[in-house]
Amino acid sequence: MRIRELLAPDRTRYNLEGVSKKRLFDQVAQLASSSRPELDEQEVFDALVARERLGSTGIGEGIAIPHCRLPSCLQPVGLLIRLEEPIDFDSVDGRPVDLVFVLLVPESNPEHHLRTLSHLAALFNEPEYREALRQSNSTEALYRNAVDSETELQLTS
C-alpha cells in the first residue's frame, strides 16, 4: 500500500514537539482520533504502547515506524511526523529518531499489514527519501515530499 493511500495532509505534522515516546504516542493518538472519528484516542495510545513494549519500532537512520492493529480501524491509516528535536527510541542503531511514520491497521488481514510494513521499511531505507522528508520546511511540504518522493523512487527503481 502506497503512502498516498495511507497518509493525508491532516495526519502529517512538521516540527512536532515529542520529548519522549510516551508523549509522542499521546499526540499521535489525539491526531488519529481527531482525523478518524471511528478511532478511540485511548485505544490507539494503549495499542501503540503495548506494541512498543514488544520491541522498539525504531528501524535506524533516525526512523521509527510504530504500528498496531485495532478492532475499530476500518482501513489502514498512516500518520507522518517530523519531530522538532530527535528523541531516544531504542533504535537498532542507537540513533535518536526524528522521522516517525505511524501505521494503524484493521485486525483482519495480517498479511496485508506485513506487506505494508515491509514497503514502508524499504521506502524509509532509501537515503533519497529520508533526505527529501528532512529537507521539508512545513507540514504541507512534508506531506507533498512524502507522496511525490515515493512516486519518483518507484519510477527510477
Q: Give residue-wise pLDDT tens across range 30-51.
A: 999 999 999 999 999 999 999 9
- DSSP character for 11? G
Residues 6+ apart with CB under 8 A from 36: 73, 77
Cα–Cα dist 15/10, whole Å: 14
Task: Assess whether pLDDT exceeds 60 at residue 155.
Answer: no
Higher pLDDT, 111 or 27: 27
Chain mean position to CA 150: 14
* Four-point Cα dihedral 1, 132, 137, 66, nearest 10: 40
How crowded is residue 53: how many other Cβ atoms within 10 Å of its Cβ? 8
Cα–Cα dist 118/112, whole Å: 10
pTM, to two decimals: 0.94
The mean per-residue pLDDT over the stretch 122-141 comes to 96
What confidence tens digit (pLDDT) does each residue in 87-103 have? 999 999 999 999 999 99
Paired with 78 in beta bridges are: 103
Paired with 67 in beta bridges are: 103
Catalytically active residues are 67
- Hey, what CATH topology would domain 3-156 get? Mannitol-specific EII; Chain A (3.40.930)
Residue that has been written with the C-alpha cell 519531530 in this structure: 83
Q: What's the pLDDT score for residue 157?
A: 42
Q: Residue 66 is placed in which grid cell?
A: 510504530
Task: Assess whether pLDDT exceeds 90 at residue 105.
Answer: yes
